[in-house]
Amino acid sequence: MAQGIFYTRSTKGLPKDIITWHEKAPYRIFIHSREDLLGTRKTISISIEIVGKKPLPLSEEEKSARLRLAVIASDRDENVLNSAAIRSIAIGKIIEEHSQLVALDLQKTRNYEKQNVSLVSEIKSLSVKNIIPFQLDSVEEMKKIGGTSGDAILVAKIYTLIAASGPSKVTKRTADLLQVDVETVRTAIRIARRNNWLTTAGHGKSGGILTKEGEQAFIKLNGPYRLQKIYGIGSRKGAN
Protein backbone atom coordinates (compact mmCIF):
# COMPACT_ATOMS: atom_id res chain seq x y z
CA MET A 1 0.00 0.00 0.00
CA ALA A 2 1.48 3.32 -1.10
CA GLN A 3 1.57 6.09 1.47
CA GLY A 4 3.30 9.37 2.21
CA ILE A 5 3.50 12.53 4.27
CA PHE A 6 3.49 16.24 3.44
CA TYR A 7 3.53 19.55 5.33
CA THR A 8 4.59 23.17 4.96
CA ARG A 9 8.34 23.66 5.42
CA SER A 10 9.39 25.14 8.74
CA THR A 11 12.73 26.37 10.04
CA LYS A 12 12.04 24.80 13.43
CA GLY A 13 11.48 21.14 12.75
CA LEU A 14 8.05 19.70 12.02
CA PRO A 15 5.15 22.16 11.82
CA LYS A 16 1.90 21.92 13.78
CA ASP A 17 -0.11 20.61 10.81
CA ILE A 18 0.89 17.39 9.08
CA ILE A 19 -1.03 15.35 6.51
CA THR A 20 -0.38 11.73 5.64
CA TRP A 21 -1.94 9.85 2.74
CA HIS A 22 -2.58 6.13 2.41
CA GLU A 23 -3.69 4.26 -0.69
CA LYS A 24 -5.96 1.29 -0.31
CA ALA A 25 -7.39 0.79 -3.79
CA PRO A 26 -9.73 2.15 -4.94
CA TYR A 27 -9.46 4.74 -2.15
CA ARG A 28 -6.93 7.32 -1.04
CA ILE A 29 -7.25 8.32 2.63
CA PHE A 30 -5.89 11.57 4.05
CA ILE A 31 -5.28 12.09 7.78
CA HIS A 32 -4.57 15.55 9.18
CA SER A 33 -3.02 15.83 12.64
CA ARG A 34 -2.01 18.86 14.69
CA GLU A 35 0.39 19.30 17.58
CA ASP A 36 -1.07 21.11 20.60
CA LEU A 37 0.71 23.35 23.10
CA LEU A 38 1.74 20.34 25.17
CA GLY A 39 3.38 18.64 22.22
CA THR A 40 0.64 16.02 21.83
CA ARG A 41 -0.43 15.26 18.26
CA LYS A 42 -4.20 15.12 17.71
CA THR A 43 -6.12 13.88 14.66
CA ILE A 44 -8.16 16.78 13.28
CA SER A 45 -9.72 15.33 10.13
CA ILE A 46 -9.93 12.25 7.92
CA SER A 47 -11.06 12.38 4.30
CA ILE A 48 -11.53 9.68 1.69
CA GLU A 49 -11.59 9.99 -2.09
CA ILE A 50 -12.07 7.43 -4.84
CA VAL A 51 -8.96 7.22 -7.05
CA GLY A 52 -9.48 3.88 -8.81
CA LYS A 53 -7.31 0.79 -8.99
CA LYS A 54 -4.53 2.62 -10.85
CA PRO A 55 -4.48 6.08 -9.24
CA LEU A 56 -2.55 9.02 -10.59
CA PRO A 57 0.20 10.39 -8.33
CA LEU A 58 -0.87 12.93 -5.74
CA SER A 59 -0.41 16.34 -7.36
CA GLU A 60 1.41 19.29 -5.84
CA GLU A 61 -1.73 21.36 -6.42
CA GLU A 62 -3.82 19.02 -4.27
CA LYS A 63 -1.15 18.92 -1.57
CA SER A 64 -1.09 22.71 -1.47
CA ALA A 65 -4.90 22.98 -1.32
CA ARG A 66 -5.16 20.43 1.49
CA LEU A 67 -2.42 22.17 3.50
CA ARG A 68 -4.16 25.54 3.17
CA LEU A 69 -7.37 23.96 4.46
CA ALA A 70 -5.49 22.19 7.27
CA VAL A 71 -4.07 25.46 8.61
CA ILE A 72 -7.53 27.03 9.07
CA ALA A 73 -9.20 23.89 10.51
CA SER A 74 -10.50 24.35 14.03
CA ASP A 75 -9.38 22.14 16.92
CA ARG A 76 -11.15 23.90 19.77
CA ASP A 77 -13.20 20.86 20.78
CA GLU A 78 -11.79 18.42 23.31
CA ASN A 79 -13.29 15.38 21.57
CA VAL A 80 -10.92 12.94 19.90
CA LEU A 81 -11.27 11.67 16.35
CA ASN A 82 -10.43 8.00 16.68
CA SER A 83 -11.74 4.66 15.42
CA ALA A 84 -14.51 4.57 18.03
CA ALA A 85 -15.69 8.05 17.06
CA ILE A 86 -15.72 7.13 13.37
CA ARG A 87 -17.76 3.99 14.03
CA SER A 88 -20.38 6.14 15.77
CA ILE A 89 -20.95 8.26 12.64
CA ALA A 90 -23.86 7.08 10.46
CA ILE A 91 -22.11 7.54 7.11
CA GLY A 92 -25.00 6.11 5.09
CA LYS A 93 -27.46 8.53 6.68
CA ILE A 94 -25.16 11.48 6.01
CA ILE A 95 -24.80 10.51 2.35
CA GLU A 96 -28.60 10.29 2.14
CA GLU A 97 -28.93 13.75 3.69
CA HIS A 98 -26.42 15.03 1.12
CA SER A 99 -28.55 13.69 -1.72
CA GLN A 100 -31.70 15.23 -0.23
CA LEU A 101 -30.09 18.66 0.18
CA VAL A 102 -28.72 18.60 -3.38
CA ALA A 103 -32.13 17.64 -4.78
CA LEU A 104 -33.87 20.22 -2.59
CA ASP A 105 -31.58 23.05 -3.68
CA LEU A 106 -31.88 22.13 -7.35
CA GLN A 107 -35.66 22.05 -7.02
CA LYS A 108 -35.64 25.42 -5.25
CA THR A 109 -33.41 26.97 -7.91
CA ARG A 110 -35.53 25.68 -10.80
CA ASN A 111 -39.06 26.20 -9.55
CA TYR A 112 -39.48 28.17 -6.38
CA GLU A 113 -38.33 31.75 -6.76
CA LYS A 114 -36.44 34.06 -9.09
CA GLN A 115 -33.11 34.62 -7.43
CA ASN A 116 -30.95 37.74 -7.57
CA VAL A 117 -27.42 36.41 -8.15
CA SER A 118 -24.61 38.27 -6.40
CA LEU A 119 -21.14 38.15 -7.93
CA VAL A 120 -19.43 39.14 -4.68
CA SER A 121 -18.46 35.51 -4.17
CA GLU A 122 -18.16 32.54 -6.52
CA ILE A 123 -19.47 30.31 -3.74
CA LYS A 124 -23.15 29.73 -3.10
CA SER A 125 -23.65 28.67 0.50
CA LEU A 126 -26.75 27.61 2.40
CA SER A 127 -26.97 26.52 6.02
CA VAL A 128 -29.84 24.20 6.89
CA LYS A 129 -31.18 23.40 10.35
CA ASN A 130 -32.08 19.88 11.42
CA ILE A 131 -35.24 18.42 9.94
CA ILE A 132 -38.23 20.07 11.61
CA PRO A 133 -41.13 17.77 12.60
CA PHE A 134 -44.27 18.67 10.65
CA GLN A 135 -47.84 17.80 11.59
CA LEU A 136 -49.33 15.77 8.74
CA ASP A 137 -52.90 14.68 8.17
CA SER A 138 -53.81 11.26 9.48
CA VAL A 139 -54.30 8.32 7.12
CA GLU A 140 -58.08 8.73 7.38
CA GLU A 141 -57.86 12.46 6.65
CA MET A 142 -55.67 11.91 3.60
CA LYS A 143 -58.07 9.32 2.23
CA LYS A 144 -61.03 11.64 2.77
CA ILE A 145 -59.35 14.67 1.14
CA GLY A 146 -57.85 12.62 -1.68
CA GLY A 147 -56.92 14.64 -4.76
CA THR A 148 -56.66 17.93 -2.88
CA SER A 149 -54.41 16.57 -0.16
CA GLY A 150 -51.42 18.87 0.21
CA ASP A 151 -49.89 16.36 2.60
CA ALA A 152 -50.09 13.52 0.09
CA ILE A 153 -48.20 15.45 -2.60
CA LEU A 154 -45.72 16.75 0.00
CA VAL A 155 -44.95 13.23 1.19
CA ALA A 156 -44.71 12.04 -2.42
CA LYS A 157 -42.20 14.79 -3.18
CA ILE A 158 -40.02 13.90 -0.21
CA TYR A 159 -40.34 10.23 -1.19
CA THR A 160 -38.85 11.04 -4.62
CA LEU A 161 -35.95 12.96 -3.04
CA ILE A 162 -35.13 10.03 -0.80
CA ALA A 163 -35.53 7.50 -3.64
CA ALA A 164 -32.97 9.49 -5.65
CA SER A 165 -30.32 8.61 -3.05
CA GLY A 166 -30.98 4.87 -3.31
CA PRO A 167 -33.86 2.43 -3.86
CA SER A 168 -33.58 0.58 -0.55
CA LYS A 169 -36.40 0.95 2.04
CA VAL A 170 -37.60 4.26 0.56
CA THR A 171 -40.96 4.17 2.37
CA LYS A 172 -39.41 3.52 5.78
CA ARG A 173 -36.70 6.14 5.24
CA THR A 174 -39.36 8.68 4.28
CA ALA A 175 -41.38 7.80 7.39
CA ASP A 176 -38.27 8.09 9.59
CA LEU A 177 -37.41 11.48 8.13
CA LEU A 178 -40.93 12.84 8.66
CA GLN A 179 -41.25 11.07 12.02
CA VAL A 180 -44.54 9.43 11.02
CA ASP A 181 -45.64 5.80 10.70
CA VAL A 182 -45.01 3.85 7.52
CA GLU A 183 -48.73 3.52 6.75
CA THR A 184 -49.03 7.31 6.47
CA VAL A 185 -46.36 7.33 3.76
CA ARG A 186 -47.91 4.35 1.97
CA THR A 187 -51.30 6.06 1.93
CA ALA A 188 -49.79 9.28 0.56
CA ILE A 189 -47.97 7.37 -2.19
CA ARG A 190 -51.15 5.49 -3.17
CA ILE A 191 -53.07 8.78 -3.42
CA ALA A 192 -50.25 10.36 -5.44
CA ARG A 193 -50.19 7.49 -7.93
CA ARG A 194 -53.98 7.36 -8.16
CA ASN A 195 -53.97 11.05 -9.08
CA ASN A 196 -51.18 10.53 -11.62
CA TRP A 197 -48.81 12.66 -9.55
CA LEU A 198 -46.16 9.99 -9.14
CA THR A 199 -44.67 7.46 -11.55
CA THR A 200 -43.81 3.87 -10.65
CA ALA A 201 -40.38 2.27 -10.86
CA GLY A 202 -41.89 -1.07 -11.86
CA HIS A 203 -44.01 -3.74 -10.21
CA GLY A 204 -42.94 -4.29 -6.62
CA LYS A 205 -40.16 -1.67 -6.80
CA SER A 206 -39.77 1.45 -4.73
CA GLY A 207 -39.20 4.88 -6.20
CA GLY A 208 -40.56 7.04 -8.97
CA ILE A 209 -40.60 10.73 -9.90
CA LEU A 210 -43.29 13.39 -9.87
CA THR A 211 -45.15 13.72 -13.17
CA LYS A 212 -45.89 17.08 -14.78
CA GLU A 213 -49.27 16.97 -13.06
CA GLY A 214 -47.56 16.10 -9.79
CA GLU A 215 -45.18 19.06 -10.01
CA GLN A 216 -48.13 21.36 -10.76
CA ALA A 217 -50.10 19.98 -7.81
CA PHE A 218 -47.05 20.32 -5.57
CA ILE A 219 -46.75 24.03 -6.39
CA LYS A 220 -50.52 24.68 -6.31
CA LEU A 221 -50.86 23.09 -2.86
CA ASN A 222 -48.01 25.22 -1.47
CA GLY A 223 -45.54 22.33 -1.44
CA PRO A 224 -42.37 24.42 -1.95
CA TYR A 225 -43.00 26.54 1.14
CA ARG A 226 -43.88 23.52 3.29
CA LEU A 227 -40.90 21.49 2.03
CA GLN A 228 -38.48 24.27 2.81
CA LYS A 229 -40.06 24.72 6.24
CA ILE A 230 -39.49 21.05 6.99
CA TYR A 231 -35.83 21.39 6.01
CA GLY A 232 -35.44 24.59 8.02
CA ILE A 233 -34.96 26.87 4.99
CA GLY A 234 -36.67 30.25 4.87
CA SER A 235 -39.07 30.91 2.02
CA ARG A 236 -41.94 33.20 1.18
CA LYS A 237 -45.28 31.46 1.52
CA GLY A 238 -46.96 31.01 -1.81
CA ALA A 239 -43.85 31.93 -3.79
CA ASN A 240 -43.70 30.57 -7.31
The 3 state secondary structure assigned to the chain is CCEEEECCCCCCCCCCEEEEEEEECCEEEEEEEEECCCCCEEEEEEEEEECCCCCCCCCHHHHHHHHHHHHHCCCCCCCCCCHHHHHCCCHHHHHHHHHHHHHHHHHHHHHHCCCCCCCCCCCCCCCCCCCCCCCCCCHHHHHHHHHHCHHHHHHHHHHHHHHCCCCCCHHHHHHHHHCCCHHHHHHHHHHHHHCCCECCCCCCCCCCCECHHHHHHHHHCCHHHHHHHHCCCCCCCCCC
What CATH number does residue 107 fall under? 1.10.10
Domain boundary among 85, 103, 137: 85
The verdict on 155 and 57 lying in the same domain is: no
Asked whether residue 116 is domain-assigned, the answer is: no
Asked whether residue 119 is domain-assigned, the answer is: no
The verdict on 100 and 214 lying in the same domain is: yes
pLDDT band at 227 (very low <50, low <70, confident <90, very high): confident
The verdict on 107 and 208 lying in the same domain is: yes
Residue-level pLDDT at 118: 43
The verdict on 213 and 99 lying in the same domain is: yes
The verdict on 153 and 224 lying in the same domain is: yes
pLDDT above 70 as % of the chain: 76
The verdict on 97 and 151 lying in the same domain is: yes
The verdict on 187 and 70 lying in the same domain is: no
Residue-level pLDDT at 164: 81
Range of the domain at 140: 92-111+127-230
- Least confident residue range of 6-10, 81-85, 109-113, 174-178: 109-113
Asked whether residue 209 is domain-assigned, the answer is: yes
pLDDT band at 228 (very low <50, low <70, confident <90, very high): confident
Residue-level pLDDT at 131: 53
Asked whether residue 134 is domain-assigned, the answer is: yes
The verdict on 133 and 68 lying in the same domain is: no
Structure confidence by residue, pLDDT tens digits, 119-134: 445 555 555 555 555 5
Asked whether residue 235 is domain-assigned, the answer is: no
Residue 162 has pLDDT above 90, yes or no: no
Average pLDDT for 226-235: 66
The verdict on 62 and 107 lying in the same domain is: no
Asked whether residue 237 is domain-assigned, the answer is: no
Asked whether residue 238 is domain-assigned, the answer is: no
pTM: 0.60
Bigger pLDDT: 21 or 223? Answer: 21
Average pLDDT, the chain: 79
Domain count, the chain: 2
The verdict on 102 and 8 lying in the same domain is: no
Asked whether residue 69 is domain-assigned, the answer is: yes
The verdict on 136 and 206 lying in the same domain is: yes
The verdict on 185 and 226 lying in the same domain is: yes
Structure confidence by residue, pLDDT tens digits, 40-50: 888 999 999 99
Residue-level pLDDT at 116: 43
